[in-house]
Amino acid sequence: MLRTLARAERQILGGVLIGAPTNPTELSGSGVFTYLAMMDEEENTANLAKFQVVTIDRATGKVSGTVSRADGSIAPVDFDLTGTLDTGNHIEGTIRSKTGNLTGTFTGRLFGPAGKEIALLYRLDSGTDYGILTGLKQ
């Protein structure tokens, strides 16, 4: 189970990921995992943001995708993710908005049996905005 903090709490505390991390021995050394993911899903109150694809190539350790960042009734912003997955199923990398004006970093991991969930904490370089990306394996 993953839990996210409300926007007001994130501005003060950052974010917290709670769950059962995937045991690295449960995953094969190769193959591509596909997740439908969204940034700040709990903020998608007007259903403007849509789930988009994040892929993890187990053979190369490459993490990539484009995801929407929900923000209530404001039009969502799409971000490109580029990162790596290590042998312990830890994920880290960078994010950049499609407009190029917002950049940041993310860190997280796979959760659940066979990596059925992905969860990442992100922080924009402005230092004032944090959030959580969550997704389910397809």
CATH code where residue 67 lies: 2.40.160.90
Overall domain count for the chain: 1
- Cβ atoms < 10 Å from Cβ of 32: 11
Q: Is residue 112 part of a domain?
A: yes
* Tokens encoding 15: 């974010």
Distance between the two ends of the chain, CA-based, in angstroms? 17
Half-sphere exposure of 25 (CA within 13 A, CB side): 0
Pick out the chain residues at pLDDT < 70. 1-15
* Tokens encoding 116: 């059925």
Q: Is residue 48 part of a domain?
A: yes
The one-character DSSP state at 32 is: E
Q: Is residue 103 part of a domain?
A: yes
pLDDT, residue 9, reads: 43
Q: Is residue 1 part of a domain?
A: no
- Cβ atoms < 10 Å from Cβ of 69: 24
Q: Is residue 41 part of a domain?
A: yes
Name the amino acid, one letter, at 20.
Answer: A
pLDDT tens digits, one per residue of 74-112: 889 999 999 999 988 899 999 999 999 999 999 999 999
The one-character DSSP state at 100 is: S
66 Cβ contact list (under 8 Å, min separation 6)? 52, 53, 78, 79, 80, 81, 98
Q: Is residue 70 part of a domain?
A: yes
The boundaries of the domain holding residue 42 are 7-20+28-137
Q: Is residue 82 part of a domain?
A: yes
Asked whether 76 and 102 are in contact (CB, 8 A), the reply is no
73 Cβ contact list (under 8 Å, min separation 6)? 45, 46, 48
Q: Is residue 2 part of a domain?
A: no
pLDDT, residue 17, reads: 78
